[in-house]
């Protein structure tokens, strides 16, 4: 749904100025070369292309997706029900994001080194089930936070193997369709999980929801044993970074993606590029994304706590999250065409401005109408910001990020990008906890809105930079 194809035989008149949103043919040829030479076997590539199998194994992830959907909201409510504060919630989310960074590195290297997709996926599902059951015995907010960090490490294990499995079990020309189906399964599964949690939160104790989620994770492990077969040809993670559809889906699942461990020189190279007009678009883009994730971390860490503090019931909190998720799924269907029509830069700015307005209105609304009535503006502005605006910005920004992955530098560029995103989300959670505790939730949301405004301003500079590059040519 996001894939745009270009004819490499057709000469392009303005390859230089369009580097933010047009992928050069060299990258396309690089993709073909890596795909065919992966594992050093051209014959395996031909066999894989001839033995096409529909990705029926993808049905195995449906129960796990259902289990995964409500966990983020559930963990925060468990902490708050144990007399935890927004500081404890911030600690849990910070640990979750912090563990996610080395987890992406470790499990990525494991996927490349051992090529055992089925084994890793099954182990991930079983470990996740064990961790979910362990929440029954967590009687303090700190234990819940530690288990949530372990949950982050366990669930990260299956992310890369699943993306690679889509590409290894489908012909290349079918990848867009396969990823669309895969994305639909995960999105619908998570939404079903959230809907299930609404009913559970209304009728049953919230603590025991983890038992049902653990059972669903075990069901996925059993289905994986029955449906997943090890592919005849194994690709490496670099293939994901060379294909737009796979890259989008991988970043949506986990926003950090390492091909190599980033070095200090990689960060220095990006910072040096800002001095020159023809190269400054990459550092400006990366810094605008950093500010976006900082704002997102600030807002997302406190939204559930703010609803809980204003006496909104658990099932209504789950309903709010579910509504935002549904709006986001629907919006993604239109975000791609909108970005293509407006250009990635303009679409990114529009998404950021809309998201900033949503956060700002929520901050003002909480100040004006505190209490349970705060739910009314949340049901309007939260889906708008977290659903519609996010889908536009995600599509536009990742289109630009994908097109910065120049031939031979994918690992370095992704390393810098992922490190910045990981640090921004952690910093945002920490800032959110303290500002909400000492300044109040209303001020926290307004601070997040201001940072989004800064991100929008930085993104708008990308259009000016393109114009300057064109004039220089």
Number of domains in the chain: 2
Choose among 336, 429, 305, 279: nearest CA to 1: 336
86 and 60 in one domain?
yes
Query: Looking at the predicted structure, is the pLDDT value of residue 201 above 50?
Result: yes
Domain termination site, one of 208, 225, 259: 259
CA angle 79, 83, 87 (to 5 degrees): 65
Query: Looking at the predicted structure, is the pLDDT value of residue 346 above 60?
Result: yes
pLDDT of residue 54: 52
Domain termination site, one of 238, 259, 280: 259
Query: Looking at the predicted structure, is the pLDDT value of residue 471 above 60?
Result: no
Asked whether residue 317 is domain-assigned, the answer is yes
Across the range 65-82, mean pLDDT stands at 95
pTM of the model: 0.85
Query: Looking at the predicted structure, is the pLDDT value of residue 379 above 70?
Result: yes
User: Which residues are CB-contacts of 355 (< 8 A; sequence separation ≥ 6)?
Assistant: 385, 389, 390, 393, 452
Query: Looking at the predicted structure, is the pLDDT value of residue 171 above 90?
Result: no
Give residue 407's pLDDT band: very low, low, confident or very high (50, 70, 90). Answer: low
Report yes or no: 331 and 387 within 8 Å, Cβ to Cβ: yes
Asked whether residue 74 is domain-assigned, the answer is yes
273 and 255 in one domain?
no
Domain termination site, one of 239, 259, 279: 259
426-445 tens-digit pLDDT: 999 999 999 999 999 999 99
252 and 277 in one domain?
no
Using left for φ > 0, alpha for ψ between -120 and 50, and beta otherwise, residue 40 falls in left
User: Which residues are CB-contacts of 106 (< 8 A; sequence separation ≥ 6)?
Assistant: none
Asked whether residue 393 is domain-assigned, the answer is yes
Query: Looking at the predicted structure, is the pLDDT value of residue 143 above 80?
Result: yes
CATH number for position 300: 1.20.1250.20
Domain around 234: 25-259
């Amino acid at each position: 749904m996001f894939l745009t194809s270009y004819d490499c035989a057709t000469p392009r008149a303005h390859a230089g100025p369009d580097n933010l949103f047009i992928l050069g043919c060299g990258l396309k040829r690089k993709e073909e070369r890596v795909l065919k030479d992966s594992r050093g076997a051209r014959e395996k590539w031909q066999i894989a292309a001839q033995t096409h199998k529909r990705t029926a194994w993808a049905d195995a992830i449906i129960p796990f997706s259902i289990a995964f959907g409500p966990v983020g909201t559930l963990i925060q409510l468990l902490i708050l029900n144990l007399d935890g504060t927004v500081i404890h919630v911030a600690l849990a989310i910070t640990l979750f994001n912090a563990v996610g960074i080395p987890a992406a590195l470790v499990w990525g290297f494991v996927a490349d080194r051992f090529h055992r997709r089925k084994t890793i996926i099954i182990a991930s599902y079983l470990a996740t089930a064990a961790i979910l059951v362990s929440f029954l015995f967590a009687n303090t907010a700190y234990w819940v936070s530690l288990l949530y960090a372990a949950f982050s490490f366990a669930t990260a294990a299956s992310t890369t193997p699943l993306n690679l499995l889509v590409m290894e079990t489908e012909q290349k020309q079918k990848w867009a369709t396969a990823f669309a189906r895969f994305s639909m399964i995960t999105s619908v599964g998570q939404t079903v999980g959230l809907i299930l949690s609404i009913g559970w939160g209304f009728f049953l104790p919230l603590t025991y929801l983890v038992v049902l989620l653990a059972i669903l994770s075990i069901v996925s492990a059993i289905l994986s044993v029955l449906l997943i077969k090890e592919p005849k040809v194994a690709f490496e993670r670099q293939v994901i970074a060379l294909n737009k559809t796979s890259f989008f889906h991988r970043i949506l699942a986990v926003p950090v993606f390492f091909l190599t461990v980033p070095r200090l020189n990689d960060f220095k190279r990006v910072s040096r590029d800002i001095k020159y007009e023809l190269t400054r678009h990459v550092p400006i883009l990366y810094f605008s994304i950093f500010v976006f994730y900082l704002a997102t971390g600030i807002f997302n860490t406190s939204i559930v706590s703010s609803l809980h503090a204003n006496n909104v019931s658990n099932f209504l909190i789950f309903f709010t999250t579910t509504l935002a998720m549904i709006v986001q799924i629907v919006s993604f269907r239109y975000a791609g065409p909108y970005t293509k029509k407006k250009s990635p830069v303009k679409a990114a700015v529009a998404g950021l401005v809309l998201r900033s307005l949503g956060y700002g209105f929520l901050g003002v609304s909480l100040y004006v109408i505190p209490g349970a009535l705060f739910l009314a503006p949340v049901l309007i502005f939260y889906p708008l910001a977290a659903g519609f605006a996010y889908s536009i910005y995600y599509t536009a920004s990742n289109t630009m990020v994908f097109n910065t992955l120049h031939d031979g530098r994918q690992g370095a560029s992704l390393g810098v990008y992922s490190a910045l995103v990981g640090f921004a989300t952690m910093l945002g959670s920490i800032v959110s906890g303290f500002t909400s505790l000492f300044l109040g939730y209303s001020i926290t949301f307004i601070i997040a809105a201001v940072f989004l405004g800064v991100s929008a301003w930085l993104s708008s500079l990308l259009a000016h930079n393109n114009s300057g590059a064109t004039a220089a040519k």
